Amino acid sequence: MASISPITLTLRDGRTVVVRPAQPDDTEAYADYLRDIARTSDYAVVREDEIRPAEKIAERFTEELAKPDAIALIAIDPAEIPGTRTRDGVVIGDISFSARSPRVMRHHGHFGLGVRSTHRGLGLGRALLVTLLDWATVHPTIEKVCLGCFADNEPALALYRSLGFREESRRMAEFRDDAGRHFDDVQMFLWVKPPPPGLDVNAWLARFGPRSA
């Protein structure tokens, strides 16, 4: 993982939190955070009974720390709020990105983003995403950042669009919740470097991008 120093952020309610790279010894607190996401978000892809054991999470963090084109950041609130603590506070948000493995696809990758229920609506998601985009923009090989999002998650889609992400495609009924409802997966992208020479993004989207029948 490329080096990134801890960042101190002030949320809309005045709380101060720290964003830093995730470490293997954060795994118990991170698993507690994932359980909160699974219990409180309609858009959690991983359900509570599917959360990986702490040792598997530690392996993931160790692998990402060793990869030059991956990053896993967690936001930490040092205050005493419900949740398992790391050495410096409770995990209240995260964002992770990894470039694709095949060499011909290594110039792009997808990210995942989440915020604990106690800290939603305070600007943390935007701050985490801006931090990731700043990192990707100066990264020597990453050119394009991508994401997938539930098609009915309007607040998330609005956030992504406000930062310049555009819809590239859709995956039909990609998600099915426990009630049996299906949702499309909106695939979005943002070039953090100039697009390849000769690629007119608007023309490409007009020809190949999602459009109504």
pLDDT digits (tens, 9 = 90+) for 60-70: 999 888 999 99
**Where does the pLDDT of residue 165 fall: very low under 50, low under 70, confident under 90, or very high at 90 and above?**
very high
CA torsion angle 26 30 32 35 (round to 10): -160
pTM, to two decimals: 0.95
Q: Report how far apart, in Å, the C-alpha atoms of 69 and of each of 58, 142, 148 are.
A: 18, 7, 19
Summarize pLDDT for 198-210 with one digit per residue, the tens: 999 999 999 999 8
Helix, strand or coil for residue 12? coil
| Neighbouring residues of 178: CB distance < 8 A, sequence distance ≥ 6 | 47
pLDDT at 56: 93
SS3 state at 179: coil
Q: Quick check: 3 pLDDT over 90?
A: no
* Class of domain 7-206 (CATH, top level): alpha beta
Q: What's residue 212's pLDDT? A: 54
pLDDT for position 208: 94
